[in-house]
């Protein structure tokens, strides 16, 4: 089967003239379906830039990036946003939960964007919070939860709309060892149960045992 992600010869720079920074120079990167892929490398090596290009948040200068055979970076803006909303879930280092919404409401957001009726969206959110082990926090505001609990809520939000791809940027770096392991175990379980593909950027060597394959970026190039 064709890989879910195929990036070929990706180049990306920021800025102009003397402030120009090359973030990626000729990256080739493919990820198979249902794979857990880690992307590691020093700070500034281009990891977040590559994730952003895969997700259609940034557009590469040169090269091609296909997701399920589709070049999302060259879709019109609205189509790109819709595609991202349907097929990709995001989990970041900072949990990015909306502080004025309850956990349940936060999790329901991707469904509401897809015009699922509010009552149904909230019911599904509640049930998924149960799956990720924070059922009792459904009606709490995020600031009442621990870091690990907030990350569980963020994962629930990332997967509620059954995306094909979950992109995680440093999902465990603010978490202690045990909580970080629990979060990765949960993500791994979801990959198996829901046929997800997971790309995780991390500095955290504790995540390495969860990976099917690890790639290293250095100075904007894949070095292994």
Ligand X SMILES: Nc1ncnc2c1ncn2[C@@H]1O[C@H](COP(=O)(O)OP(=O)(O)OP(=O)(O)O)[C@@H](O)[C@H]1O
Q: Which is nearer to ligand X, 98 or 223 (CB)?
A: 223
Stretch that binds Mg ion, among 41-49, 101-109, 185-193, 204-212 (CB under 5 A): 41-49
Q: Which is nearer to ligand X, 45 or 102 (CB)?
A: 45
63 binds ligand X (CB under 6 A): no
Q: What's the rounded Cα separation, in Å, for the pair 117 and 198?
A: 28
206 binds ligand X (CB under 6 A): no
49 binds ligand X (CB under 6 A): yes
Q: Are 175 and 151 in contact (CB under 8 A)?
A: yes
48 binds ligand X (CB under 6 A): yes
Q: Are 216 and 40 in contact (CB under 8 A)?
A: yes
Running DSSP on this structure, what letter comes out for residue 18? G
Q: What is the DSSP secondary-structure string of 22-55? A: EEEEEEEEEE-TT-EEEEE--TTSSHHHHHHHHT
93 binds Mg ion (CB under 5 A): no
* Beta carbon of residue 52, minimum distance to ligand X (angstroms, whole number): 8
Out of 46, 148, 171, 180, point to the residue binding ligand X (CB under 6 A): 46
202 binds ligand X (CB under 6 A): no
* Beta carbon of residue 206, minimum distance to ligand X (angstroms, whole number): 16
Q: Which is nearer to ligand X, 41 or 148 (CB)?
A: 41
List for the chain the helix, strand, coil content (%; round to 5).
Answer: 40, 25, 35
* Beta carbon of residue 45, minimum distance to ligand X (angstroms, whole number): 4
Q: Interface with ligand X by CB under 6 A: which residues?
A: 14-15, 21, 23, 41, 43-49
């Amino acid at each position: 089967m064709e890989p879910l992600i195929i990036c070929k010869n990706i180049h990306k720079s920021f800025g102009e003239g003397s402030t120009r920074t090359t973030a990626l120079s000729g990256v080739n990167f493919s990820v198979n379906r249902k794979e857990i892929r880690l992307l590691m490398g020093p700070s500034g090596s281009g990891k977040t830039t590559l994730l952003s290009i895969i997700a259609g948040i940034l557009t590469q200068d040169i090269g091609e990036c296909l997701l399920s055979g589709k070049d999302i970076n060259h879709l019109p803006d609205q189509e790109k946003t819709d595609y991202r909303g349907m097929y990709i879930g995001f989990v970041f280092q900072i949990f990015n939960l909306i502080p004025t919404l309850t956990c349940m409401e936060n999790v329901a957001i991707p469904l509401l964007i897809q015009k699922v009726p509010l009552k149904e969206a909230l019911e599904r959110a509640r049930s998924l919070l149960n799956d990720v082990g924070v059922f009792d926090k459904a009606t709490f505001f995020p600031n009442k939860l621990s870091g690990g609990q907030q990350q569980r809520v963020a994962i629930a939000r990332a997967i509620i709309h059954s995306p094909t791809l979950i992109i995680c940027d440093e999902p465990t770096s603010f978490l202690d060892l045990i909580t970080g392991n629990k979060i990765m175990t949960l993500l791994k379980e979801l990959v198996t149960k829901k046929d997800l593909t997971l790309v995780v950027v991390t500095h955290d060597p504790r995540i390495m045992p969860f990976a099917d394959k690890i790639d290293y970026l250095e100075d904007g190039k894949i070095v292994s």
